[in-house]
Amino acid sequence: MKEISIDTPKGKIRAAKFLDPNYPSIDVFIDNELAAVIEFHSGKDDIVIHTFMKYKEEPVSSRIFDDPESYDYDE
The better pLDDT of the pair 32, 69 is held by 32
Flag whether 54 is in a domain: yes
Q: Tell me the residue type at 49.
A: I
Residue range 30-39, pLDDT digits in tens: 999 999 999 9
Domain count, the chain: 1
Closest CA to 32 of 52, 46, 50: 52
Residue range 15-30, pLDDT digits in tens: 999 999 999 999 999 9
67 band by pLDDT with thresholds 50, 70 and 90: confident
Flag whether 39 is in a domain: yes
Rounded to whole angstroms, the Cα distance separating 65 from 4 reads 22
Flag whether 75 is in a domain: no
Sheet with 3-8, edge to edge strand ranges:
3-8, 11-18, 25-30, 33-41, 46-51, 61-64
* Stated pTM of the model: 0.83
Rounded to whole angstroms, the Cα distance separating 35 from 13 reads 9
71 band by pLDDT with thresholds 50, 70 and 90: low
